[in-house]
Amino acid sequence: MNVLAINAMLGGLVGYLGAGARLLVYGGVQPGEGGAGTTLLAAAVLALPAGEVTDGQLSLVQADTAGDLAVATGIATWGRLEVAGGPWVADFSMSGPSGAGQVKLVVQNPPEGDPEAKLYQGGTFFIGEVVIGG
C-alpha cells in the first residue's frame, strides 16, 4: 500500500476520534483486540484534532501539554484508543522511549534504575512517540 493511501486511512482515524478521545494506558498482559482491560495505570485525553499524519505515520497529541497523571503504579505494557464515551478503536503495545512498543511513553523524572515505562500514581507522563501505520 502506498503512503498516500495510508495517510488517508490514518487521517480518517483522526477524524473519527473527535473531541474527548483518550489513550488508556494499562499494565499486565495485553488481551486480544478489544478484550477486557487489565490494570488501568493512566488515561491521556487527546487534543482536537487527536493527532497529525505525516509520511504514513500518526502522531497522537495530548490535550494537556503539561502531561497527564497516572492513576496507579505499574509498568505500561499496552494501551487502547477510545472515542469519547468509551467505544474502543484500537489496541497497541507500549514501552519506554528505547523499547519496541508501538506507543512510547516518557515518564517525567523516573527514579534511577526503574524500567522506562513504569508509572507512579500521581506522577506525570507524556506520550512520547506513536508508531501507527508506516
pLDDT per residue as tens digits for the range 118-128: 899 998 888 86
pLDDT digits over 19-36, tens only?
Answer: 999 999 999 999 998 889
**What's the number of domains the chain is made of?**
1
Cα–Cα distance measured from residue 98 to residue 95, given in angstroms and rounded to the nearest whole number: 8
pTM of the prediction? 0.85
Q: What is the span of the domain harbouring residue 36?
A: 3-130
Could you report the average pLDDT of every consecutive run of 10 residues in the chain (134 residues)? 87 90 94 91 93 87 90 94 88 87 79 83 81 61
DSSP string, 45-110: EEEEEEEEEETTEEEEEES-TT-EEBSS-EE--EEEEE-TTS-EEEEEEEE-TTS--SEEEEESSP
